[in-house]
Structures are given as structure tokens and as C-alpha cells.
Amino acid sequence: MLALPSPYSLRPMAVADIPAVLVIDSLSFPTPAGEQLFINELTDNKLAFYQVLTRAGERGESVVGYAGFWNIADEIHISTIAVHPDERGRGRGEWLLLNLLLEACRMNPLLVTLEVRRSNSVAQALYRKYRFVEVGMRRRYYRDTGEDAILMTVDFADAPDYCHWLAERVIELTGRPVTD
């Protein structure tokens, strides 16, 4: 996990985090994911990796963001990423994505993929910043709004260079190298 400047930390998501995750989820997506989905992901899905971004405060730790992926054969598929609205626009989403991509580097996939709503220009800008490119479109993919999904990928054919670049981003953002 990426070591972050205090008071922020990243760690694997636990079942006890789900209520806080659901609050952020409901503030972030038109159709919230639901408790059972996260329970299944954390307890049943061996292909899933989920993390939370937490902030330490006077009243203890609070979850301010989360993200996850599935490791399916040679493909890492980013399933979700969200930051509490009060914490957006200050690099938190970037930390979450950067850490997911560093985890992906350890798994040696052929590519990393994701879907994003056509209207979600903020998330698309974040993904482009991390060298995702648009490779396709799934028409009316989102059943809640009927919106199209844009399919974006990072090709890991140049993984050593890409993963080296990610490690340099860590130093730029935190002043510290990646540690295991």
C-alpha cells in the first residue's frame, strides 16, 4: 500500500468499513451498490481487491474514499472508485487510483480496464492523467440512467516503464518512495 502523509492512510477494506463505504457510495452514484454487494465482494470474491482511504481525527478514523478491482486472468478491471464529496478535488482520488495501479503492477496483467459514464468528465480526466485511453463504448450500459459507458484501458505491454513512472509519481506526491 502507498504510504501517505498523515493523517491519511490506505488499507484493505474490511466488512466493518461497509457502512461508511455505503454513505460515500450513495453520495457518489445514481444507484448505490448496496450492502450485500460489498459483503459478497469482501467475503466471497477471491478475485476482488478493495481498499479504503482513511483520515485520522480526534474522534478516531473515518473512511473518506474507497476503490477496488477484480483480477480476472490477465486483466485487472477497476470496479469502483469514489471519494466523499467533502474530500474531492484535493488529490484523494488520485491516491486511490495510483495505489490500485501499483497493486496491478505486482500482478503482472496484460491490461487494466474500466468503464466510466460518458458524462463523467471528472473521472475521465483522472484516468487520462494515468494514461488510460478510450478503446470503445458500451451503449446504454448503465441501466439506471440509460447512459453509455466509455471503455478505457492501460496496456501493460510497457509495464516496466509504466510502473516505473507510477513509482516516480509516488515520490512526487508524497516525497517518499513506494515501500512494501
Ligand X SMILES: CC(C)(COP(=O)(O)OP(=O)(O)OC[C@H]1O[C@@H](n2cnc3c(N)ncnc32)[C@H](O)[C@@H]1OP(=O)(O)O)[C@@H](O)C(=O)NCCC(=O)NCCS
Query: Measured from the CB atom, is 37 or 126 closer to ligand X?
Result: 126
Among 39, 110, 122, 135, binds ligand X (CB under 6 A): 122
State yes or no: is 115 an active-site residue: yes
Among 100, 116, 163, 170, binds ligand X (CB under 6 A): 116
Among 21, 105, 112, 123, binds ligand X (CB under 6 A): 123
Q: Considering the complex, what minimum distance in angstroms separates the CB of residue 139 from ligand X?
A: 17
Asked if 68 touches ligand X (CB under 6 A), the answer is: no
- Taking contact as CB under 6 A, which single stretch among the options 41-49, 50-58, 80-88, 172-180 is the one that binds ligand X? 80-88
State yes or no: is 127 an active-site residue: yes
Asked if 129 touches ligand X (CB under 6 A), the answer is: yes
Q: Exactly one of 8, 50, 66, 127 is catalytic; name it.
A: 127
- Label each residue of the chain as H, E or C: CCCCCCCEEEEECCHHHHHHHHHHHHHHCCCCCCHHHHHHHHHCCCCEEEEEEEEEECCEEEEEEEEEEEEECCEEEEEEEEECHHHCCCCHHHHHHHHHHHHHHHHCCCEEEEEEECCCHHHHHHHHHCCCEEEEEECCCCCCCCCCEEEEEEEHHHHHHHHHHHHHHHHHHHCCCCCC
Which residues form the catalytic set? 115, 127
